[in-house]
Structure 1
Amino acid sequence: MVVLVVVVVVVLVVVVLLVVLLLVVVVLVLVVVVVLLVVVLLVVVVLVVVVVVVVLVAVVVVVVVLVVVVAVVVVVLVVVVLVVGSPTHYA
């Protein structure tokens, strides 16, 4: 009888330990999954920020180039008008 009680107690202890171990493994897997999700989200956020910065820099470069082109055209037209004279002068 005592041997049966000891065997039952040992089996119960082993089952409880296995359940606790399983729970610990499940919690660790969940923690790893959450950490991976956070890392993926951070990478996505960084990529979005990089894309936005690149687009903004491209827009600024295009605007600066357009301003420079317009300024050069205006200067050339002013020089042509001053050197050659007004186009309406020959009309």
Structure 2
Amino acid sequence: MIVLNYCNKINSSTVDVVVVEALLVVAVVAAAVVVIVVIVVVVEVVVIVAVVVVAAAAIVVEVVVVAVVVVVVVVVTELAVVVIVVVVIAVVTELAVVVIVVIVVVVEVVVIEVVAAAVVAVAVVVVAAAAVVVEVVVVVVVV
């Protein structure tokens, strides 16, 4: 508009036409520069938004990976604890069985010894009684 107003006010001399044309060229170049700057700014904004989106996605992926790793570690730890508890229970049960078997064997040995001692004692009493009977018979026969 300024250029057109200028053109209306001036005479159509060659110098004036050259000045007007130069002003028009400057205006077109300035407009082109403004358009290029706007395009560059828009591209930069798009790139920045893309970088932010990619960074956010990377953070989400890292959080998910960490969560999965934590869950796997917890599950493996729980399984290890269960296995350890089962093994400990099995070992304790086997030890209890061994202790029970030892107790049974000791009781059997003690019972066998007591029974054997009782049999020997009865045999001694029977032999002693027989000896007394034999002595009585001998005494009676001798007398």
TM-score in terms of structure 2 length: 0.56
RMSD, matched Cα: 1.9
1:49 aligns with 2:81: yes
Structural mapping, 1:51-90, within 5 Å: 51-85=83-117
State how far apart, in whole Å, the 1-side matches of 2:40 and 2:106 are: 98
1:19 to 19, 38, 51: 51
State how far apart, in whole Å, the 1-side matches of 2:76 and 2:86 are: 15
Q: How many corresponding residue pairs?
A: 88
State how far apart, in whole Å, the 2-side matches of 1:26 and 1:74 are: 71
Structure 1: which 5+ residue stretches go unaligned?
Answer: none
State how far apart, in whole Å, the 2-side matches of 1:58 and 1:50 are: 12
Q: Shift in Å at residue 22 of structure 1?
A: 0.5
Percent identity of paired positions between Structure 1 and Structure 2: 50
Deviations 1:20-49 (A, max 9, x none): 101111111111111111111111111111
Which aligned runs of 4 or more in structure 1 are off by greater than 6 angstroms?
A: none
Where relative contact order (Cα < 8 A, 6+ residues apart) is larger, the structure is 2
- What's 2:42 paired with? 10
- What's 2:62 paired with? 30
State how far apart, in whole Å, the 2-side matches of 1:83 and 1:27 are: 82
| Bigger-Rg structure (1/2) | 2
TM-score in terms of structure 1 length: 0.85
